[in-house]
Amino acid sequence: MRPSRIKAKLAKNEPALVCALHLTDPSIHELVSLMGIDGIWLDMEHHATSMEKANELMRAARVGTSDVVARPGKGEFMRMARMLEAGAQGIMYPRCDDAKEAAEVVRWSKFSPLGERGIDAANPDNPYCSMPLDQYIQEANEQTFVVIQLEQAHAIEQADAIAAVEGVDVLMLGPGDFSILSGIPGQMDHALVQQAKEKIAAAAKNAGIQWGTTCGSIQAIRDSLELGARFICYGADILIIKQGFEQIQHDCEQLGFTFDNQLAMPNA
């Protein structure tokens, strides 16, 4: 079974970098994986990616070394098993409310005795019935990991109990949704966001697991690392492409080119 690059790094207390890929061209996933980025965030909560397309993207990622961290929608427990069978090394579960829900995520993500995940073994994660079931079950439980996202104030208050759930590997703050639900949309430097990070960091440390978050800048990464975060999500293909074209426009405007940029922010 394919070993998890991220889980190995986290076990050694090394930082792991995860990049979000929104575009569904397999060549992008192949490129990122060949470049050795630790993880590819495959978001099926907010995007219309089908399981069939997700299979293609994960297959492309297997050419290199990147883990695929797949995010289902809240409550999509059966979909998580299909994500793992397609080759995802990690499940990123959004909007977790409490320890009971976290335990349900583990139950669907892990085989007995850690959970109650159903067996198939004929998919890429085994791969294709090539391993004895006892070995497959053991390696699947060892190599896959569960990331639990906390995105609401009441969930942050449950951080200690959630972190203590056996089978949870990473607590993750979702700062975007947390800021919106806390009435401070987009204010990532607000004291409430900092307090949430500190609460999650302490809960993870007490439980002997790792924590992480999304970061919008190198300074944000630096600050999170100083707080003990080791699961860092930074960068997205759609933003990288947009920023690249903005740079082209900026450079060419100096040479007299003009553009009808319908995405440009209006003048204040």
Domains within the chain, CATH numbers bracketed: 5-236 (3.20.20.60)
- Section 59-86 average pLDDT: 96
| pLDDT of 214 over the 50 cut | yes
Report yes or no: 231 and 172 within 8 Å, Cβ to Cβ.
yes
Residues in contact with 52: Cβ distance below 8 Å, sequence separation at least 6, in sequence order = none
Report yes or no: 74 and 101 within 8 Å, Cβ to Cβ.
no
- Per-residue confidence (pLDDT) for residue 264, from 0 to 100: 84
C-alpha dihedral, 82 to 86 to 88 to 91, nearest 10°: -10
Report yes or no: 67 and 77 within 8 Å, Cβ to Cβ.
no
The C-alpha atoms of residue 69 and residue 41 are separated, in whole angstroms, by: 5
| pLDDT of 268 over the 50 cut | no
- Per-residue confidence (pLDDT) for residue 265, from 0 to 100: 76
The two tokens of residue 8 are 């190995």
Residue pLDDT, tens place only, 140-187: 999 999 999 999 999 999 999 999 999 999 999 999 999 999 999 999
| pLDDT of 11 over the 90 cut | yes
Q: Which residues, listed in sequence order, are joined to residue 212 by a DSSP beta bridge?
A: 172, 231
Closest CA to 217 of 202, 235, 201, 205: 235
| pLDDT of 226 over the 60 cut | yes
* Residue 32: band (very low, low, confident or very high) from pLDDT cuts 50, 70, 90: very high
pTM: 0.95
Residue carrying structure tokens 């947390």: 178
Count of Cβ atoms closer than 10 Å to residue 179 Cβ: 19
* Residue 90: band (very low, low, confident or very high) from pLDDT cuts 50, 70, 90: very high
* Residue 267: band (very low, low, confident or very high) from pLDDT cuts 50, 70, 90: low
| pLDDT of 79 over the 70 cut | yes
| pLDDT of 1 over the 60 cut | yes
The C-alpha atoms of residue 35 and residue 233 are separated, in whole angstroms, by: 16
Closest CA to 53 of 78, 34, 70, 31: 70
* Residue 98: band (very low, low, confident or very high) from pLDDT cuts 50, 70, 90: very high
- Section 77-85 average pLDDT: 94
Q: What is the mean pLDDT of the chain?
A: 96
